[in-house]
Amino acid sequence: MGSDDFRRASLEIWEEMARGWDDRRDAVWDASSGIGAWLVAALDPQPGETVLELAAGLGDTGFAAATRLGERARLICTDFSAPMVDAARRHAPERGVTNAEFRTMDAERIDLGDDSVDGVLCRWGYMLMADPGKALRETRRVLRNDGRLALSVWGAPERNPWAAVPARALLEQTGEPPPDPLAPGIFAMAREARTRELLEGAGFDAERVEEVAMTWRFESLDDYWRFVLDVAGALAMVIRSLPEDGQAAVRQRVEGDLEPFETANGYELGGVCLNVLARGLPLARQQ
């Protein structure tokens, strides 16, 4: 699939996923608030600054930053899925956010001027993009000199059973070969070396790279299975496209693989993110 075809398909996926993310917004933030808190603390937004959030989804990470910016500052909350942006706009008042601007925007084609923002946040976005290097170069373009970028991508599959278990079950059921590990997808930037290479190529210095753990909790197998179908992007769409007996077979495989994660209260599945604070290098040093 070419890059343009991938972008069109990805947009369709995330427009379809917006409702599920909205329905599960509180649960996702409860599980991932530690990831968001790390990003905001690392970015250290200051009163009066302009912060851009890319691939914002429902905007909760940016909202956490907005409360530190003050009324005279600005958060630009963006996603390339208009339904995601609409949902973020609806939820902003619940977080007490009044200093945000909401825009539908592709991170690979940022509709902002050069040197126009002080900081950029991106939680779980770059690894899903058709060309993460291009998106990072665009990020550097809109950042002022010495501007900061705080990003999070998912770590290795073996550290993220919540996503790896259903992905493996789907491959076993369909007989498809494993995807190219560098192709756009949830684990495309799981290797620190790969992430550093992309950042350096875009004109950033990665000042801090840390693994940050989190835990997803589910009341039952049904709860977990609905979560996968509601929010898991391309994986969810492929499972949904299977005939009923195929979906049932994947679910059965998943149930067996989830046994080690069963608790008295349901299931607990770990997750690990690779969180990065990077700083834009002076433009004169980019060749």
Listed by start position, the domains of the chain span 3-155+184-214+271-281
Q: What is the pLDDT of residue 22?
A: 97
Q: Average pLDDT, stretch 169-197? A: 93
Q: What is the pLDDT of residue 248?
A: 97
Neighbours of 231 (CB within 10 A): 20
- Nearest C-alpha neighbor of 124 from the set 271, 279, 281, 278: 271
DSSP of 83-141, one letter per residue? HHHHHHHHHGGGGT--SEEEEE-BTTB--S-TT-EEEEEEES-GGGSS-HHHHHHHHHH
Q: What is the CA radius of gyration of the chain?
A: 19
If phi > 0 it is left, if psi is from -120 to 50 it is alpha, else beta; for residue 115 that is left
Q: What's the pLDDT tens digit per position in 52-94?
A: 999 999 999 999 999 888 777 899 999 999 999 999 999 999 9
Q: What's the pLDDT tens digit per position in 237-256?
A: 999 999 999 999 999 999 99
Sign of the alpha-carbon dihedral angle for 67, 68, 72, 77: negative
Integer Cα distance of 140 and 149 in angstroms:
9
Which neighbouring-strand residues pair with 210?
Answer: 275
Choice among 18-22, 57-61, 143-147, 227-231 with the minimum mean pLDDT:
143-147
Q: What is the pLDDT of residue 1?
A: 60
- Nearest C-alpha neighbor of 73 from the set 56, 51, 58, 41: 51
Q: What is the pLDDT of residue 284?
A: 60
Assess whether pLDDT exceeds 80 at residue 287: no
Q: What's the pLDDT tens digit per position in 27-53?
A: 999 999 999 999 999 999 999 899 999
pTM for this entry: 0.94
- The percent of residues in the chain predicted with pLDDT above 70, rounded, is 98
Assess whether pLDDT exceeds 50 at residue 286: no
CATH annotation of 3-155+184-214+271-281: 3.40.50.150
Average pLDDT, the chain: 94
φ and ψ at residue 43, rounded to 5 degrees: -65, -35
Q: What's the pLDDT tens digit per position in 130-156?
A: 999 999 999 999 999 889 999 999 999
